[in-house]
Amino acid sequence: MDLSENLKNIKIRIENAASRVGRDPNTIRLIAVTKEADVESIERIIELGVKDLAENYAQQLLAKYQTLRQATWHFIGRIQTNKIRHIVPICEYIHSVCRKDELVQIDRIANKYGKVQKVLIEVNISQEQTKSGVQGSELQEILEFGSSMRNIKIVGLMTMAPFTDDFQQIRSIFRELRKLRDLHQLQHPELVHLSMGMTNDFEIAIEEGATMVRIGRAIFKGE
């Protein structure tokens, strides 16, 4: 597997998607999702200039961090509150926050480590029962709750689109997240990031305003 060629192709696709809507591709953060990758492959993409890595599970995050401390780590999986003590010391960003008890735990652990933890609130735009995330109508309440905490900074919103070939449906979900961000940014100006888009839909996400795209298969498997 030619990781160099895979990355080159992804960067071209990011640039092309950005140019279609008049965006600067440098404002889009490529996050490599490492859940199915071995350490050797991850080390190689770091050598090739990828600075941001993401994991879905706390156990895998801990294991990989031991040998990959030079990266900026993101946690993007479903949060178990008893694992937050492992996530906070390692990750610069936690993308998948959607409950008040998670915010309370993150704030407590971040305070212990003397850090301000950057988090994104996950919104279940598609309203799929299998996906976690707050509803759009609940967003204001959780933003206000999190903003009152000293060791948390809510810096954006995250969502996942359904795995479907209906690209208009995917686009409408990403567009709705951007509208929510723009609406709440008036009261919460630190709400900058939109974490949306994966291997199968990241170009649509970029066209709709994504600032962070989470890509695994296209990097490590060339899909």
Q: Among 26, 46, 25, which Cα is nearest to 34's?
A: 46
Please tell me the predicted confidence (pLDDT) of residue 77. 94
Please tell me the predicted confidence (pLDDT) of residue 36. 85
User: For residue 111, what are its two tokens?
Assistant: 């305070």
Q: Which residue has the tokens 């704030």?
A: 107
Q: Is the dihedral of CA 182, 187, 190, 195 positive or negative?
A: negative
Identify the band that residue 127 occupies on the pLDDT scale cut at 50, 70 and 90. confident
Q: Among 91, 94, 56, which Cα is nearest to 193's?
A: 94
Q: Among 141, 86, 80, 87, which Cα is nearest to 118's?
A: 87
pLDDT higher than 80, residue 223: no
Pairing of strands 193-195, 152-158: parallel
Q: What is the pLDDT of residues 148-194, one digit of tens each?
A: 999 999 999 999 998 888 999 999 999 999 999 999 999 999 999 99
Q: For the domain that residue 37 is a member of, what is the CATH number?
A: 3.20.20.10
Domain total in the chain: 1
| Domain interval for residue 155 | 3-220
Identify the band that residue 1 occupies on the pLDDT scale cut at 50, 70 and 90. low
Identify the band that residue 126 occupies on the pLDDT scale cut at 50, 70 and 90. confident
pLDDT higher than 90, residue 11: yes
Pairing of strands 91-97, 72-75: parallel
